[in-house]
């Protein structure tokens, strides 16, 4: 996965309910693993207003800090500018604007909120696998000699 010269980063939005656990982990992992060729965001359909201490802890265990991240709602992110919107679980609703040209993906990630650290770790690891697979898929379609993924071409 490398940075594509002369191309803007792909914008990926991860959406969950509270924007305090799952989508925060996905945002941090995608920005970390995307090595500058993706710009990840996160939001909640009903933001809690804070990131849980467990989320900070399990991400720090991977050497990933959540500096600059905060719990926010869909109105706080430019949804219309996203190339990909990922719903983190079946209870998540992310209305995309009329005429949205990006790709919408649904994952079924369990919500670790109010669970123990072992559960948070298992969710973090599942999200890491999903993000890695997504980025690999995107990187293959952006391989040298390829025009790369364009908005609405998935």
Name the nearest CA neighbour of 40 among 4, 60, 69, 71. 69
Which two tokens mark 146?
């390829």
Return all residues near 94 (Cβ < 8 A) that are at least 6 apart.
13, 15, 43, 45, 74, 79, 85, 87, 104
Return all residues near 19 (Cβ < 8 A) that are at least 6 apart.
42, 43, 44, 47, 48, 71, 72, 73
| pLDDT score for 105 | 93
Q: Where are the domains of the chain?
A: 10-139
Return all residues near 110 (Cβ < 8 A) that are at least 6 apart.
89, 119, 123, 126
pLDDT in tens, 97-130: 777 889 999 999 999 999 999 999 999 999 999 9
Of 20-29, 46-55, 75-84, 144-153, the range with the lowest mean pLDDT is 144-153
Cut 0.75: pTM above it:
yes
Name the nearest CA neighbour of 139 among 29, 25, 36. 36
pLDDT at 149 over 60: no
* Alpha-carbon span 150 to 10, nearest angstrom: 9
Average pLDDT, the chain: 86
Range 10-139: architecture per CATH: 3-Layer(aba) Sandwich (3.40)
């Amino acid at each position: 996965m490398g940075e594509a010269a002369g191309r803007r980063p792909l914008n990926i939005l991860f959406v969950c309910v509270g924007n305090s656990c799952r989508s925060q982990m996905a945002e941090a992992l995608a920005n970390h693993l995307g090595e500058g060729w993706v710009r990840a965001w996160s939001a909640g359909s009903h933001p809690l207003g804070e990131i849980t201490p467990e989320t900070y802890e399990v991400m720090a265990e991977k050497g990933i800090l959540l500096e600059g991240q905060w719990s926010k709602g869909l109105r706080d992110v430019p949804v219309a500018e996203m190339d990909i919107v990922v719903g983190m679980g079946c209870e998540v609703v992310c209305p995309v604007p009329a005429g949205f040209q990006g790709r919408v993906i649904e994952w079924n990630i369990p919500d670790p909120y109010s669970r123990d650290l072992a559960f948070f770790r298992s969710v973090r690891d599942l999200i890491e696998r999903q993000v890695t697979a997504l980025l690999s898929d995107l990187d293959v379609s952006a391989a040298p000699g390829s025009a790369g993924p364009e908005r609405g071409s998935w």
